[in-house]
Structure 1
Amino acid sequence: MDEQTLPVAESLAAVERSCAVTVGAGPVTETSNPRRVDRLTSLGQRVLFWVRRYLPAEIVATASVLVVGMAALEWSKSAAVTAIAATVAENLAFYGVFVVAVYREQRRRRPTRREALSRSLFLLAAEFGPAEVIDSVVIRPWAFGIALWLIPDAGWALVVGKVVADVVFYFAAAGGFSLTMWAGLRGSDERR
């Protein structure tokens, strides 16, 4: 490699190493097996990492979308009101799960609850902030609204709208997470 591509290759390798975390039924934790870092090279393993990271929050968020969305539609008979209610419900549920998970991750690394909470909110803003603003204000309400307009069954419309919005959201959110890992903001031993 030449001198210009060497820092880029080292940075990419650091991102790969720093993404060697696992998500159980809750907090994001660094792996205790350093050899696992080297195994996260296949596409399947990367996909599995992202599924494990986001699936618990997505399950709770999807249930919230369906319950609140159907109730809002029944009450208001309006696709616009339903789209907004479903967006708010999904955000509250999704971030409720993530606040707890990231706080638990950071509590193990920070001496006080206040520091852990402050760091958790910072990390959530770094990971999700830009993606969430665009998602909550534009993408998700429109995806729900258009799906409710096009698909006769409201339950399926809410699911389709959610999936379409999630695809857009996760491209940006995964980049935000990788950036926080690469920069060492999550307390990774790789960057200390």
Structure 2
Amino acid sequence: MTTIEITDAGAVRRGPVFWVCRHLPGEIAGTAALVLAGLGVTVWTDAPVTIALAGLAGAVIGFYGVLAITIYSEHSIAAHGRDRRGALALLMAEFGPVEFVDTLIVRPAALMLGVWMAPEPIWGLLAGKIAADLVFYAAVAKSHSTRGSHAARGRQTVP
């Protein structure tokens, strides 16, 4: 039987491969749910706002559903039978305030603009998603690099 022991969480370096493996399944599920929900409402309406908001709801459910399972699994392995309630806190803290700005402002605006400008809703949804993802992941990368430099400065010792 293999056990995993985490001794110092600060010592773990997480490179691009870790983040791609962690978020790609959620991105795939979120994109599929975005398209299905967005196109699903076109049966009843052609209003860009409604299509974009339905797509947003699908994307949030698809992406965070997969990410919640991933984080819960990681936390369960690390907890090894101990309290697993911290998984929800980890999910909430994964991206910090960047996530709230993205979900409440940037992504809805990008999706609405995409659906409004594109000749077909599917292309508008996908264009809006890509634009929002670029803004989101750039902000997350900046946030993580800033957090990492603050942590590194905090570990320095004064001679």
Shorter chain as denominator, the TM-score bin is: 0.7 to 0.9
Deviation track 1:111-140 (CA, whole Å, cap 9, x = no partner) reads 547x22x21111111112412211111111
Name the amino acid aligned to 1:18: V
Q: Find 2:65's aligned residue among 96, 111, 121.
A: 96
Equivalent residue number for residue 46 of structure 2 = 77
Equivalent residue number for residue 127 of structure 1 = 94
Change (3 A) 1:173 1:121: farther
Shift of 1:176: 5.8
Equivalent residue number for residue 128 of structure 2 = 161
Deviation track 1:34-88 (CA, whole Å, cap 9, x = no partner) reads xxxxxxxxxxxx4444322211110100000111000123322111111111111
Query: Are 1:19 and 2:17 matched, yes or no?
Result: no
Equivalent residue number for residue 36 of structure 2 = 67
Name the amino acid aligned to 1:88: A
Where structure 1 has 5 or more consecutive residues not aligned to the other structure, the ranges are 1-13, 21-45, 184-192
Q: In structure 2, how many angstroms separate the alpha carbons of the residues matched to 1:102 and 1:70? A: 30
Query: Are 1:106 and 2:100 matched, yes or no?
Result: no
RMSD: 2.6
CA contact (8 A) 1:69 1:85 kept: yes
Q: In structure 1, how many angstroms separate the alpha carbons of the residues matched to 2:110 and 2:57? A: 14
Percent identity of paired positions between Structure 1 and Structure 2: 35
Change (3 A) 1:76 1:59: same
Shift of 1:175: 5.3
Deviation track 1:86-110 (CA, whole Å, cap 9, x = no partner) reads 1111111101001111111110122
CA contact (8 A) 2:22 2:70 kept: no
Change (3 A) 1:131 1:157: same
Name the amino acid aligned to 2:123: W
TM-score, with structure 2 as normaliser? 0.77
Q: In structure 2, how many angstroms separate the alpha carbons of the residues matched to 1:81 and 1:19? A: 42
* Equivalent residues, number: 141
Change (3 A) 1:177 1:18: farther
Query: Are 1:136 and 2:136 matched, yes or no?
Result: no
